[in-house]
Amino acid sequence: MILIMKKFILVAFIILLIFIILKLFLFDNLTTKKHFQSAEELEPLPGGGKSWTAEVDKSMKSLINPPKKIPYFSQILLKQAEKQFEKELLPGRILTWSTDLGVASGFLEMYVEKGAAKILDPRMIYLIRMQVSYYVSCPFAIDVNSWKYKDHNISVEEIQGLQGKKDLNKISTFSERELTALRYACALSETPVNFDGQLLEDVRHLFSQEEIVAVATLAAKVNYWARLIEAWRIKPVGYTADTILEIEKYNTFNPKE
């Protein structure tokens, strides 16, 4: 009798677990078709204006706000991310408009960083993050990816190279591998991407296959976040006010002609 009860409890637990998983990933998406309402209708601009001007772009926290009610499963993931970053993450909160896209983006961040850390040294990782952030001109990404530059022995001259003020090739403190990784990251960050034969030869000569995968994937990941964050007009979270980083000088907004 006791054995039967144990089996019954186990089966009930499994059924409950399956129900929860289906509820989170399937049933929540099987909603009835909603009446379309634009973001403008649901979130009017301050003062009832219709134009997204330079003043509006500067004053607004983002193009759209996060949902007022974030799904429970997304709340769990978001809580973990914000605990790690020690800041409220507006990009993650906006992503909760779609559970699938939010989860996918979270796992992208976690596993790319985890994988890169097993292959590349910390300074190389930090330099790549900084370089792509500056190259794409994303203040949020620059703030997140640059504020601990002193911990990685990154000099003011090296920062000026990452900012494009100085020729990277003339900065002697970059190793040959670091310099090549930065050139590689810049090439894949251009629009359209732009590679020359010499760069690809250098990459093959100086890096192993797994290192090439790590450098390219890390640079592409920073591109993903930087471009997504700029698309939503999200401002820096305020990790630093270090004037050397010149975060306030980077802006991707162009007023209407």
Dist CA 158 CA 165 (whole Å): 10
Pick from 183, 179, 204: which is nearest to 193 by CA?
A: 183
Q: Is the pLDDT of residue 33 over 80?
A: no
Q: Model's pTM, two decimal places?
A: 0.84
Contact by Cβ (8 Å): 183, 168: yes
Single-letter amino acid, residue 78: L
Q: Which fold, 111-249?
A: AhpD-like (1.20.1290)
Average pLDDT over residues 207-220: 98
Residue the block writes with tokens 């999200």: 234
Q: Kindly state the tokens that stand for 13.
A: 């637990």
Return the residue matching tokens 């677990």.
17
**What is the crossing angle of helices 209-231 and 197-206, to 10°?**
120
Locate the domains of the chain by residue range: 111-249
Decide if 136 contacts 251 (C-beta within 8 A). Answer: no
Digit-coded pLDDT (tens) for 229-239: 999 999 999 99
